[in-house]
Amino acid sequence: MKQKERQDTSVHNPLKKERDRSETSSQGRHAHIGGVKSSKSVPKAKADSSHETTSSSKNMEASESLTSTMNKMSLTGEAETSRDIKSRSARSKSNHKPEEWMLLDKESDILTQLNLAIVGHVDSGKSTLSGRLLHLLGRISQKQMHKFEKEAKLQGKGSFAYAWALDESAEERERGITMTVAVAYFNTKRHHVVLLDSPGHKDFVPNMIAGATQADAAILVVDASIGAFEAGFDNLKGQTREHARVLRGFGVEQVIVAVNKMDIVGYSKDRFDLIRQHVGSFLQSCRFKESSLTWVPLSAMENQNLVSAPSESRLSSWYQGPCLLDAVDSVNSPGRDVSKPLLMPICDVVRSNSHGQVSACGKLEAGAVRSGSKIMVMPSGEQGTVRSLERDSQGCTIARAGDNVAIALQGIDANQVMAGGVLCHPDYPVSVATHLELMVLVLEGATPILLGSQLEFHVHHAKEAATVVKLVAMLDPKTGEPTKKSPRCLTAKQSAMLEVSLHYPVCVETFSESRALGRVFLRSSGRTVAMGKVTRIIQDS
Ligand code: GTP
Ligand code: MG
């Protein structure tokens, strides 16, 4: 990877931190900080597919051309038309018979990957909690921790030492807030956890959303201290509710509510119970099931109840439940769809300088590949084979669902491989569509969505210009049942079914078919206005 030139196809990139780290690590300049390391394949949020090389630091709010080269290519030239591709994609995936090598052997079966988002109101202690956890699990060395402590103290930010492991940029450290999603790794007995430490500040909700699109489960951090919980839970100014709604909108079901800073309230059971009662009834009103919620009182600062039972008697006297690490271990991972046909949304493309060789990077969402496997690049429909595979910059023989890899391709025109496209099994191409039915939640502060509204549609690493062509129904947020058919407009906090028409086709699946390819969000004028899932792919006549 070191010799390869990285071609940045990203225009805006809310998960910039991941990318920056990925670039530095691929250039060998920067050792990973503890467990925090790059992931070119825990994807940056969205990329368009223009050929120009653009800096990831480019303002993500900048207005962008939404017509993508990739999508145009799928409709022109020698590539098959989307109509051909659509009809071919009708072949039933249930016919797919995995070969033996695709299935998990015992060894790789031991740990399942769990993408875990850490969300919650600003300053609730998400980064401190993440940093502390990584340190306790040996992912941050004593030496590195001393360095953070010293530097943080020098800047008068002593209390942020653990957060500094995650908040790496000068601006984040100076302001004492997280701005972009940081990625870190640790293991529990059952899971290889990919931790996504998200920003809580309201200005960075789009970044939090981009992180949440990856989440299989989440830790919702709540600050227990007097006044802070109330501010974070406030209907208008707090982020706790919005973050919970975002998780639910993306179909995240399992949430660990970490009631943090219990040290400040003297580890009071009454305080914990009160918070549990308020947050619990709110989460149930968003259709989270009580049985999918775990409540863990803790103190990141005083290391209580993180990786072992609390030593503090004021807590252990009334709390006998799991510590945070055990709660994470108990989360059910979504399972690896190794026996389904291959699906890998392309998050990055690496082209070699000299040989015209091209590698597609991303996370396998379904299926498996090895050298020599036949693959198809969508939406262009080009077919080729896998030349070789790399995981964590090292060659590997097989990649299966859940793995983040770079796949070197053979026999494929490099120009047809774009971030936002999808690698798939040639017999089971991903759906390519322009007309979709979505179930969405309109976010706080969003301008109303009307029939004819022009929006940016985002799905996995693709984005496309969209027009709202039908407002189907408003939904009851508690039951999900339609309450009003054909509403005239949708305003903040409403749930609804609507139909969008995309200007050019994108690779997409329904959420029930593939969570990763069916989670979407809609943006307008640089703001995320709604998020949700694809409920139906509508074939245009
Ligand atoms: P954003 O990412 O900006 O939303 O903030 P955050 O949720 O990551 O909070 P961060 O970890 O930056 O911590 C904010 C402040 O809370 C820091 O001063 C921490 O030292 C403090 N803090 C975090 N956890 C605890 C805790 O358990 N007890 C006490 N007393 N303070 C804590
Ligand atoms: Mg933070």
Segment 271-329, tens digit of pLDDT = 999 999 999 999 998 889 999 999 999 999 999 999 999 999 999 999 999 999 999 99
Ligand 1 atom 2: the closest Cα is on which residue? 178
Residue whose CB lies within 8 A of the most ligand 1 atoms, among 118, 122, 128, for a mutation test:
128
**Inter-residue contact 269 to 321 (CB < 8 Å):** no
Which residues, 6+ apart, have CB-to-CB distance to 123 below 8 Å? Answer: 176, 177, 200, 223, 228
Distance of CA 272 from the midpoint of ligand 1 (Å): 18
**Inter-residue contact 105 to 205 (CB < 8 Å):** no
Ligand 1 atom 14: the closest Cα is on which residue? 123
The rounded percent of the chain whose pLDDT value lies above 70 is 81
Distance of CA 191 from the midpoint of ligand 2 (Å): 23
Cα separation, 418 vs 377, in Å, equals: 9
Ligand 1 atom 20: the closest Cα is on which residue? 159
Structure token pair of residue 347: 């998050």
Q: What residues flank ligand 1, with Cβ below 6 Å? A: 122-128, 159-160, 163, 176-178, 199-201, 260-261, 263-264, 299-301
pTM of structure: 0.74
Structure token pair of residue 254: 């399992």
3-class state of residue 515 by DSSP:
helix
Nearest CA to 469 out of 493, 497, 443 is that of 497
Nearest CA to 168 out of 193, 137, 199 is that of 199
Q: What is the pLDDT of residue 108?
A: 54
CB atoms < 10 A from the CB of 179, how many? 18
Q: What is the pLDDT of residue 107?
A: 53
Question: Quick one: 320 exposed, middle or buried, by C-beta within 10 A (0-12, 13-18, 19+)?
Answer: exposed
Which residues, 6+ apart, have CB-to-CB distance to 111 below 8 Å? Answer: 187, 190, 191, 192
Nearest CA to 412 out of 444, 370, 378 is that of 378
Q: What is the pLDDT of residue 420?
A: 92
Distance of CA 271 from the midpoint of ligand 2 (Å): 24
Name the one residue in this structure whose structure tokens are 């990584």.
134
Name the one residue in this structure whose structure tokens are 């693709």.
462
Structure token pair of residue 259: 């009631």
Nearest CA to 115 out of 193, 198, 37, 8 is that of 193
Distance of CA 122 from the midpoint of ligand 2 (Å): 7
Nearest CA to 527 out of 442, 469, 466 is that of 442
Nearest CA to 168 out of 130, 203, 194, 138 is that of 130
Tell me the ligand closest to 121's alpha carbon.
1
Ligand 1 atom 13: the closest Cα is on which residue? 125
Which residues, 6+ apart, have CB-to-CB distance to 150 below 8 Å? Answer: none
Cα separation, 541 vs 539, in Å, equals: 6
- For 161-200, the DSSP string reads TTGGGT--SHHHHHHTS--S-EEEEEE-SSEEEEEEE---
Question: Which DSSP category does 93 fall into?
Answer: G
Distance of CA 160 from the midpoint of ligand 2 (Å): 9
Residue whose CB lies within 8 A of the most ligand 1 atoms, among 123, 133, 205, 260, for a mutation test:
123
Per-residue confidence in pLDDT tens, the chain, 541 aa: 233 333 332 323 334 344 333 333 332 222 222 333 333 333 333 333 333 222 232 333 222 222 232 222 222 223 333 334 444 444 577 778 888 777 766 555 577 788 899 999 999 999 999 999 999 999 999 999 999 999 999 999 999 999 999 999 999 999 999 998 888 999 999 998 989 999 999 888 878 887 787 788 999 999 999 999 999 999 878 899 989 988 987 889 999 999 999 999 999 999 999 999 999 999 998 889 999 999 999 999 999 999 999 999 999 999 999 999 999 999 998 777 888 999 999 988 998 776 778 999 988 999 999 999 999 999 999 999 999 999 877 888 899 887 878 999 999 998 899 989 999 999 999 999 999 999 998 987 788 999 999 999 999 888 899 999 999 999 987 778 899 999 999 998 899 999 999 999 999 999 999 988 999 989 888 777 898 999 999 986 5
Question: Which DSSP category does 540 fall into?
Answer: P
The strand pairing partners of 404, in sequence order, are 363
Residue 211 parent element (H or E) = helix 205-212
Ligand 1 atom 3: the closest Cα is on which residue? 177
Q: What is the pLDDT of residue 445?
A: 77
3-class state of residue 243 by DSSP:
helix
CB atoms < 10 A from the CB of 526, how many? 14
Residue whose CB lies within 8 A of the most ligand 1 atoms, among 159, 242, 263, 268, for a mutation test:
159
Cα separation, 472 vs 496, in Å, equals: 7
How far the first Cα of the chain sits from its last, in Å, is: 45
Ligand 1 atom 24: the closest Cα is on which residue? 125
